[in-house]
């Protein structure tokens, strides 16, 4: 675990920085598995004010530098975005981000539409597939859920 890690809710003026991190990590790790249509659709979604405006963003900071982002909607019960910079993956930062939003979620059920790249990570966090892989507008995903006891 990273010693000087801080997880906190992002202010509205930090959203642009968070989305820049999301896009950078998406291009590096996710985009290679997507069609051009899927990459374009993802880019459109993270620049759609209606979509972004419904999300609650949380960031992971090391020495005041944003290194990870998780964003939820539906009162925290659906994970919409979850990205950690490559050099910081595998250090427990994603787990801390997830545990933060999970602790705030009032629902006994959390959902996510996981990319193929992230499915193993969600399985480690306890999510189970609820359907097979699907593709919508070029975006590949596996619907998953996590049932918790509140």
Reduce the secondary structure of the chain to three states and give it as a string.
CCCCEEEEECCHHHHHHHHHHHHHHHHHHHHHHCCHHHHHHHHHHCCCHHHHHCCEEEEEEECCEEEEEEEEECCCCEEEEEEECHHHCCCCHHHHHHHHHHHHCCCCEEEEEECCCCHHHHHHCCCEECCCCEEECCEEEEEEEEECCC
The superfamily in CATH containing domain 5-106 is: Gcn5-related N-acetyltransferase (GNAT) (3.40.630.30)
* Whole-number pLDDT of residue 148: 82
pTM of the model: 0.94
Residues of the chain predicted below pLDDT 50: none
* Whole-number pLDDT of residue 5: 93
pLDDT tens-digit readout, 111-132: 999 999 999 999 999 999 999 9
* Whole-number pLDDT of residue 1: 59
């Amino acid at each position: 675990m990273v010693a000087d890690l801080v997880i906190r809710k992002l202010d509205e003026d930090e959203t642009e920085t968070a989305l820049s991190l999301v896009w950078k990590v998406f291009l590096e790790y996710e985009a290679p598995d997507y069609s051009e249509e899927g990459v374009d659709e993802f880019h459109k979604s993270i620049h759609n004010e209606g979509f972004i405006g419904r999300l609650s963003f949380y960031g992971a900071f090391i020495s005041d530098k944003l290194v990870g982002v998780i964003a939820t909607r539906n009162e925290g019960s659906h994970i919409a975005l979850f990205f950690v910079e490559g050099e910081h993956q595998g250090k427990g930062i994603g787990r801390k981000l997830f545990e933060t939003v999970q602790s705030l979620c009032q629902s006994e059920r959390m959902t996510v539409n996981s990319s193929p790249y992230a499915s193993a990570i969600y399985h480690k966090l306890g999510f189970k597939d609820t359907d097979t892989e699907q593709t919508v507008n070029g975006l590949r995903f596996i619907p998953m859920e996590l049932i918790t006891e509140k």
